[in-house]
Amino acid sequence: MKFLGFAGFKRKKPKVGLALGGGGARGFSHLGALKAFEEYGLDFDYVCGTSAGSLVGAFYAAGYNFKQIFDIAKTIKTKDIRTSKLFFVPSKTEGIEKIITDNLGDINIEDLKKPFSAVAVDIKSTNEVCITKGNLAKAVAGSCCVPGIFQPVEFGDRLLCDGGLQNTMPADIPKLMGCDYVVAVDVNKSRTYGTSSTKMLDVLACTIRILMKGNVVKGYVNGDVVLKPETKRFKSTSTEGYLDMIEEGYREAIDRMSEILTLFQGRAPKKKVELKEENFEII
């Protein structure tokens, strides 16, 4: 009998999750990262997203490729983001729900091809909620529900708002769901959170960035590879330059691909996920 030793040892395939962060229109950069992943044949085991990341992630989890998601995303205009003409009269998230239902139908999260969760905040309990089942369109709309711009979304007995208020880049979620490694994509506006604009929408966006400041750092702690496309020159409230945003996401993913491949090969040290605080629910 031939002694195989280490030559006969087969490394167990690691589970790798993808976490797509919030950032409004800068979420176009997520598409560039997906394009790079597709070119390298990477197949993630779990997908989660916050705000804009949940919208992109939902289509990716449904089995859509880069071209299919791009064709949908390029129809989104600035006016769709700036839904409310009156700053103090928030509008509904029906536009976001329509993007989902027009393309995927009235589908539940558990019917997607890949395990998926959307991160939101329940303003009744003030808890962060990780939505793993139920109506996909409602879950994504809730995750994208920016306070002051959109009305909170009813989801069962909960009222959902933008998940970025508590978990902008949810790199911890895939690990809580059993993944060994996580690739996270941060499309926030670099480390600069201020603004010199006096426009109401820009001031609101700046205020939210300040509130999110601490939880972005948590994403870097929990992510094994964190991609940071150069998004400083883009606004979260405008789709202008969306092709450049996609290119930035693609460039960053390609530049970091050797690190990402190490995760898929199971050759990187594993980070221990930080324990969630009490104000967290999986639903």
Active site residues: 51, 162
Dihedral sign of CA atoms 251, 44, 155, 273 in order:
negative
Query: Token pair of 130, please?
Result: 């990780």
The answer for 105, left when phi > 0, alpha when psi is -120 to 50, beta otherwise, is: left
Please give the Cα distance from 279 to 231 (Å, whole number): 31
With residues binned 3-state (H G I as helix, E B as strand, rest as coil), the percentages for the chain, rounded to 5, are 40, 15, 40
The answer to whether the beta carbons of residues 99 and 130 sit under 8 Å apart is no
**For 251, how many CA atoms within 13 A lie in the half-sphere containing its CB?**
9
**Amino acid present at 234:** F
Strands (E), the chain: 16-20, 46-50, 116-122, 127-131, 153-155, 158-162, 181-185, 225-227, 280-282
The answer to whether the beta carbons of residues 229 and 63 sit under 8 Å apart is no
